[in-house]
């Protein structure tokens, strides 16, 4: 088969060609197809106005991140090629939001307290860890772990996935039950105790992560049964990097975390032909060979502003093995503060770095925040239209 396809394609085929490291007619685009490529609800009205669409009452699709549900007319206007298929909440838990004069808070199904300031708050951050302090194996056995077998989670998933691929002809991205293994571990244990365990009691750290892995595999077994072949990408996440370095040493990753990641990715690849996507922020270049080794196929968000994460170098060194999903523009230093022309110019540079040969899905580096001028978002997607077509 040819490496480049220039005839007009439907969105799903466009994405699938890019995922196979082939050049479709144009670079696929993603807005809000994942929990990492969305738009804060505070910025949604301005974006609609900037692209000439009528106002609507914004709907929050992700409470913790305060992401907007992006309507079909916006997706059509920017040419989005991906739609997310997410699980619902369990039948045994309901979100109850309380206020104490300073914060709005709720306890999630893992028992983690999440809070958002009443004055100027933008997100619900994890503020109280249910497994903090001195704990034992008995505490782990007594802990109320989420039940992945609850059928309420999967209600409507099959129908949604089939509509995405059969009616909309977009690529279907199926998301996970929770944050990553290490992310959820730190939320359960707290950062102070969590890091202490990684150094002083790695057996306890590993036991907690193993229980999280059990929940994830139980979820994926049922979710993949529900969607069948109506899925193109399965999405997992685990933030492994900070701005300048990893969040823990390569040795800790390889000894404690990597075997669990390998089991999770191996399970996914044994159960579906969909590509395995991993969201991992920060300066993760030292671990990219490990991620490739265990079978990760798609990397997001491609945080080009972090140390060692320059787009051209990533494509050169890892572009044969990885699809880059994201990386459109520096969200920290350009998207929110530069002029629209500068945003477009950087997007064109990153297209030149990441697009050749396929293996690239154009998306922001994590969710668009409410401080981003709507004209900058419009300029970003205009650059994708202008510079994102493959030659004959």
Q: Does residue 165 carry a pLDDT above 80?
A: yes
**Tokens standing for residue 360:** 């690239």
Give the confidence band of 5 by pLDDT, cuts at 50, 70, 90: low
pTM > 0.85: yes or no:
yes
At residue 4, the pLDDT reads 56
How many whole angstroms separate alpha carbon 299 and alpha carbon 291? Answer: 9
CA distances from 153 to 86, 227, 265, 327 (A): 9, 13, 21, 31
pLDDT tens, residue by residue, 333-385: 999 999 999 999 999 999 999 999 999 999 999 999 999 999 999 999 999 99
Of 150, 167, 151, the C-alpha closest to 159 is: 167
Q: How confident is the model at residue 72 (pLDDT cuts 50, 70, 90)?
A: very high
Each residue's pLDDT tens digit, 22-69? 999 999 999 999 999 999 999 999 999 999 999 999 999 999 999 999
Mean pLDDT of all residues in 286-312:
98
Quick: pLDDT tens for 216-237: 999 999 999 999 999 999 999 9
In this prediction, residue 348 carries a pLDDT of 98
Q: How many CB atoms lie within 10 A of CB 277?
A: 27
Sequence length of the chain is 392
Across 155-169, average pLDDT: 98
- Give pLDDT, residue 8: 63
Q: Is 347 exposed, middle or buried (0-12, 13-18, 19+ CB in 10 A)?
A: buried
DSSP label at residue 83? E
pLDDT at 3 over 80: no
DSSP symbols for 255-313: IIIHHHHHHHHHHHHHH-SSEEEEE--SS-GGGHHHHHHHT--EEE---TTSTT--HHH
Reported as a pLDDT band with limits 50, 70 and 90, residue 1 is: very low
Interatomic CA distance for residues 386 and 362, integer angstroms = 13
Confidence of residue 121 (pLDDT cuts 50, 70, 90): very high
């Amino acid at each position: 088969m040819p490496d480049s396809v220039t005839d007009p394609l439907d969105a799903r085929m466009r994405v699938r060609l890019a995922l196979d490291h082939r050049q479709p007619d144009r670079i696929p685009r993603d807005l809000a197809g994942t929990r990492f490529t969305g738009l804060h609800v505070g910025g949604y009205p301005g974006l609609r106005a900037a692209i000439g669409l009528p106002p609507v009452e914004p709907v929050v699709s992700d409470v913790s991140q305060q992401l907007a549900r992006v309507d079909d007319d916006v997706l059509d206007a920017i040419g989005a090629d991906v739609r997310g298929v997410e699980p619902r909440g369990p039948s045994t838990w309901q979100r109850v939001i309380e206020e104490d004069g300073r914060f709005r808070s709720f306890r999630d199904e893992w028992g983690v307290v999440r809070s958002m300031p009443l004055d100027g708050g933008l997100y619900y951050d994890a503020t109280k860890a249910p497994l903090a302090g001195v704990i034992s194996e008995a505490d782990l056995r007594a802990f109320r772990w989420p039940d992945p077998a609850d059928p309420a989670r999967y209600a409507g998933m099959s129908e949604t996935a089939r509509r995405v691929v059969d009616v909309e002809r977009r690529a279907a991205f199926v998301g996970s039950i929770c944050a990553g293994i290490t992310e959820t571990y730190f939320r359960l244990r707290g950062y102070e105790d969590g890091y202490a365990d990684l150094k002083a009691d790695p057996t306890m750290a590993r036991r907690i992560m193993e229980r999280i892995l059990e929940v994830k595999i139980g979820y994926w077994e049922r979710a993949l049964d529900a969607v069948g072949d109506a899925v193109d990408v399965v999405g997992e996440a685990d933030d492994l990097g900070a701005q300048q370095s990893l969040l823990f040493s390569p040795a800790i990753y390889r000894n404690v975390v990597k075997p669990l990641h390998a089991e999770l990715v191996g399970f996914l690849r044994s159960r579906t032909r969909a590509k395995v996507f991993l969201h991992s922020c920060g300066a993760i270049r030292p671990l990219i060979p490990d991620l490739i080794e265990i079978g990760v196929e798609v990397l997001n968000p491609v945080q080009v502003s972090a140390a060692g994460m320059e787009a051209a170098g990533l494509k050169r060194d890892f572009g044969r093995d990885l699809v880059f999903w994201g990386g459109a523009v520096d969200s920290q230093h350009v998207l929110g503060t530069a002029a629209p022309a500068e945003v477009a110019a950087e997007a064109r540079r990153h297209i030149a770095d990441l697009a050749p040969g396929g293996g690239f899905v154009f998306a922001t580096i994590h969710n668009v925040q409410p401080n981003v001028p709507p004209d900058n978002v419009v300029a970003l997607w205009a650059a994708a239209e202008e510079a994102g077509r493959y030659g004959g």
